[in-house]
């Protein structure tokens, strides 16, 4: 059918711009530099885009945790696949900032001082929800009790890690009932035994295996984001200190060793060649 021209909307109808609050959204980019430096727009928009995606990731993580606590491996897996796709985008997005020359950033950097990504409440929520809760990181919000409450709630509540262990127990893996945030040697051994059983025989409980691999992929993309971020930071500010008061690149490099699921990574070390995945292919998956 040929294009018949636009539909004419009444002013009281729902429109694209009203539904998405486009007018309000476009008011939110307020440069600190005056006159506004050309690149400050990019700097603001890229951070705002990250914050919007963090919001979506948190939304999906909460749902994923609920699914695991209800022992539903495949719905939890489905949530994670979306989170991973978003994270792939976020890893690449940081490189747009490399089109900003270091001297251009210097033109407006001091205007942002002492604001810093270190204060991103949503980034901390993602970490805490993944199982990387750390009271020390709450110190930066001393004068923001509402943010501290949010993080305390995340710290006390279920996480991807705790919900995963919950699901593993439901699938009859011998995961200890109580696990400390930093598991002691005995807890570690028991969890590693269970993970070894899962990874040695993926077909026995295939949904749990796929879920576990999605969790490790989530972890992998979080590390990749940290690595890409630190490289971009080094390329733009070299060895300067961060506006948040840290040593900058040195501090950020120290965070790249963080793992949400360290035992899922470690378990691979102890796998043996036998039996082979294909040899077990016809075994019934325990759904
Ligand atoms: C030119 C661009 C950027 C520079 C120079 C930069 C620099 C830094 C530095 C130096 C830190 C360490 C804390 C401090 O002392 O300030 C940091 C932390 C952080 N930045 Fe960036 N950053 C840039 C872009 C971004 C973008 C686009 C995001 C997206 C949200 C982001 C998110 C974060 C987060 C979440 C942290 C805390 C990391 C942690 O503590 O593990 N940064 N950034």
> CA 166 to CA 164: how far, in whole Å?
5
Pocket of ligand 1 contains residue 205 by CB under 6 Å: no
Residue 142 DSSP label: T
287, part of any domain: no
Structure confidence at residue 283 (pLDDT): 59
27, part of any domain: no
Structure tokens at 216: 């490790």
Low-confidence ranges of the chain (pLDDT < 50): 286
Q: Which of 188, 153, 191 is nearest to 169 (CA)?
A: 191
Structure tokens at 228: 């890409």
> CA 271 to CA 126: how far, in whole Å?
31
Structure confidence at residue 281 (pLDDT): 66
> CA 165 to CA 157: how far, in whole Å?
14
184 class by beta-carbon count within 10 Å (0-12 exposed, 13-18 middle, 19+ buried):
exposed
SS3 at position 144:
coil
28, part of any domain: no
177, part of any domain: yes
- CATH number of the domain that residue 257 is part of: 1.20.58.480
Q: Ligand 1, residues 44, 110, 118, 133: which to mutate, most atoms within 8 A of Cβ?
A: 118
Structure confidence at residue 186 (pLDDT): 93
Number of domains forming the structure of the chain: 1
Residue 177 belongs to what domain range? Answer: 38-104+119-280
258, part of any domain: yes
Structure confidence at residue 279 (pLDDT): 74
Pocket of ligand 1 contains residue 160 by CB under 6 Å: no
- Asked if 17 and 23 touch (Cβ cutoff 8 Å), the reply is yes
12, part of any domain: no
- Interval between CA 63 and ligand 1 midpoint (Å): 27
The string of DSSP codes covering 220-269 is: HHHHHHHHHHHHHHHHHHTTPPPTTSS-THHHHHHHTT--S-HHHHHHGG
- Interval between CA 248 and ligand 1 midpoint (Å): 9
For ligand 1, atom 38: residue with the closest CA: 118
Q: Which of 148, 147, 154, 162 is nearest to 133 (CA)?
A: 154
Pocket of ligand 1 contains residue 222 by CB under 6 Å: no
2, part of any domain: no
> CA 187 to CA 191: how far, in whole Å?
6
Structure confidence at residue 180 (pLDDT): 85
Pocket of ligand 1 contains residue 50 by CB under 6 Å: yes
Pocket of ligand 1 contains residue 243 by CB under 6 Å: yes
Structure confidence at residue 5 (pLDDT): 87
- Interval between CA 116 and ligand 1 midpoint (Å): 6
Structure confidence at residue 274 (pLDDT): 83
- Interval between CA 276 and ligand 1 midpoint (Å): 44
Structure tokens at 152: 């305390």
Q: Which of 212, 174, 169 is nearest to 191 (CA)?
A: 174
> CA 89 to CA 53: how far, in whole Å?
10
257, part of any domain: yes
- Interval between CA 103 and ligand 1 midpoint (Å): 18
For ligand 1, atom 3: residue with the closest CA: 233
Structure tokens at 95: 């490189």
């Amino acid at each position: 059918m040929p294009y018949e021209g636009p539909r004419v909307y009444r002013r009281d109808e729902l429109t694209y711009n009203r539904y998405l609050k486009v007018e309000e959204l476009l008011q939110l980019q307020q440069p600190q530099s005056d006159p506004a430096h050309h690149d400050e727009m990019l700097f603001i928009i890229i951070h705002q885009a990250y914050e919007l995606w963090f919001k979506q990731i948190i939304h999906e993580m909460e749902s994923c945790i609920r699914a695991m606590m209800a022992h539903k491996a495949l719905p939890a897996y489905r949530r994670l696949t979306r989170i991973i796709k978003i994270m792939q985008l976020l890893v690449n997005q940081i490189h747009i900032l490399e089109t900003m020359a270091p001297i251009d950033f210097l033109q407006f950097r001091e205007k942002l001082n002492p604001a810093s990504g270190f204060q991103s409440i949503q980034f901390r929520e993602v970490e805490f929800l993944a199982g990387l809760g750390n009271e020390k990181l709450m110190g930066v919000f001393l004068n923001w009790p509402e943010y501290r409450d949010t993080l305390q709630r995340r710290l006390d509540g279920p996480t991807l890690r705790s919900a995963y262990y919950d699901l593993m127990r439901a699938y009859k893996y011998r995961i200890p009932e109580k696990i400390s945030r930093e598991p002691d040697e005995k807890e570690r051994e028991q969890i590693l035994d269970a993970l070894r059983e899962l990874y040695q025989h993926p077909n026995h409980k295939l949904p749990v295996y796929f879920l576990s691999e999605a969790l490790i992929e989530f972890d992998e993309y979080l590390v990749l984001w940290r690595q890409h971020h630190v490289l971009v930071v080094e390329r733009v500010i070299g060895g300067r200190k961060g506006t948040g008061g840290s040593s900058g690149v040195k501090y950020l490099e120290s965070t790249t060793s963080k793992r949400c699921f360290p035992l899922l990574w470690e378990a691979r070390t102890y796998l043996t060649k036998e039996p082979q995945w294909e040899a077990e292919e016809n075994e019934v998956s325990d759904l």
